[in-house]
C-alpha cells in the first residue's frame, strides 16, 4: 500500500525530474533540494499545481554548515579531567564547500504545508558561494517569507534578492556581523556600558576572555549503547556510582 509520503515524493519527482533532488525522509516527512537558480520557479509550481498545493510556507530557517559533521574531540570515552570547559581552541575546520557532499556553507530550509492535500514538505536550497551569500526571495510566492528572510539576513548574513525591505529585524541598527554564524565569536565583538562622564551608553571592545565551551565527559546512555540496553533509563552509570562512594 502506498503511503501519503510516497505519493507526494512520486508527484514531486514526476513534476520536476532532475531539477529537484529527493533527500532521505526524516520522521516520515518528505524532503528535497533545489538549486538556487530554480528556487522561485519551483516554489511557485509547488504552490500553484493542484496535485501539490502548498499554499502555506510556515517556516524558513537558514543553516550554517561550517563545522557540520566535524568533531573537536576525537574520543568516545570520558576523561579523568571532567568537563574542563575553559580550554584554548585548536580545532581548524575546513571550509564548508570543501566538505564532501556540501555544495556551500549556507542553505535556506523551507517548511511547506498543503492544507488542501494535508501533507508537508521540507525544501532546502544552498545559497551562492559568495560574500555575502545570495538567494532569491520567495516573498512574491509566500508573503509569510518576509520576516523570515529578514531574520536570515540579520542572523546569518544571507542576502535575499528581490526582498521588498531587507534590513535587520532582531539586532541593533549598529550591530556588526551576524551572530548566528558559527565563526562569530561567542563573546561578541563589542560590549556596552554607561559612561557617567558622557552621560550615555557607549560601545567599547569586549573584555571577556574567549573560551571553548565543549564538555569532555561523554555520559553512558542506554538509548544508544547496546551494552546498556537492559539498564533502565535514568539509572546512574558505573563511574557515577563509584564517585558517589
Q: For the sheet with 56-64, list strands across it.
A: 20-26, 29-34, 119-126, 106-114, 56-64
pLDDT score of 146 more than 80: yes
Angle between helix axes 39-48 and 4-16 (nearest 10 degrees) is 130
Residues 161, 166, 167, 171, CA torsion sign = negative
Which pLDDT band, with edges at 50, 70 and 90, does 78 fall under? low
Which pLDDT band, with edges at 50, 70 and 90, does 76 fall under? low
Which pLDDT band, with edges at 50, 70 and 90, does 239 fall under? very low
User: Tens digit of pLDDT for each residue in 207-228?
Assistant: 877 666 555 555 565 565 666 5
Which pLDDT value is given to residue 175? 82
Instruction: Name which residue leads in pLDDT, 100 or 81.
Output: 100
pLDDT score of 188 more than 50: yes
Torsion of CA 31, 33, 38, 42, to 10 degrees: -10
Mean pLDDT within 22-35? 88
Amino acid at each position: 500500500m502506498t503511503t501519503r509520503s510516497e505519493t507526494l515524493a512520486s508527484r514531486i519527482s514526476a513534476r520536476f525530474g532532475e531539477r529537484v533532488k529527493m533527500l532521505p525522509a526524516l520522521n516520515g516527512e518528505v524532503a528535497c533540494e533545489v538549486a538556487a537558480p530554480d528556487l522561485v520557479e519551483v516554489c511557485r509550481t509547488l504552490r500553484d499545481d493542484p496535485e501539490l498545493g502548498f499554499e502555506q510556507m510556515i517556516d524558513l530557517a537558514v543553516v550554517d554548515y561550517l563545522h557540520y559533521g566535524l568533531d573537536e574531540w576525537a574520543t568516545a570515552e570520558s576523561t579523568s579531567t571532567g568537563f574542563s570547559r575553559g580550554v584554548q581552541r585548536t580545532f581548524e575546520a575546513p571550509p564548508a564547500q570543501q566538505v564532501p557532499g556540501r555544495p556551500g556553507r549556507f542553505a535556506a530550509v523551507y517548511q511547506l504545508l498543503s492544507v488542501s492535500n494535508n501533507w508537508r514538505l521540507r525544501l532546502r536550497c544552498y545559497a551562492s558561494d559568495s560574500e555575502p551569500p545570495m538567494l532569491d526571495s520567495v516573498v512574491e510566492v509566500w508573503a509569510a517569507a518576509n520576516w523570515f528572510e529578514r531574520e536570515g539576513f540579520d542572523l546569518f548574513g544571507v542576502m535575499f534578492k528581490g526582498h521588498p525591505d531587507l534590513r535587520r529585524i532582531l539586532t541593533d541598527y549598529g550591530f556588526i556581523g551576524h551572530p548566528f554564524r558559527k565563526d562569530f565569536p561567542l563573546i561578541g565583538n563589542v560590549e556596552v556600558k554607561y559612561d557617567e562622564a558622557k552621560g550615555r551608553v557607549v560601545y567599547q571592545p569586549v573584555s571577556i576572555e574567549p573560551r571553548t565551551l565543549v564538555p569532555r565527559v561523554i555520559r553512558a546512555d542506554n538509548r544508544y549503547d547496546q551494552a546498556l540496553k537492559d539498564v533502565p533509563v535514568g539509572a546512574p552509570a558505573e563511574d557515577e556510582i563509584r564517585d558517589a562512594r
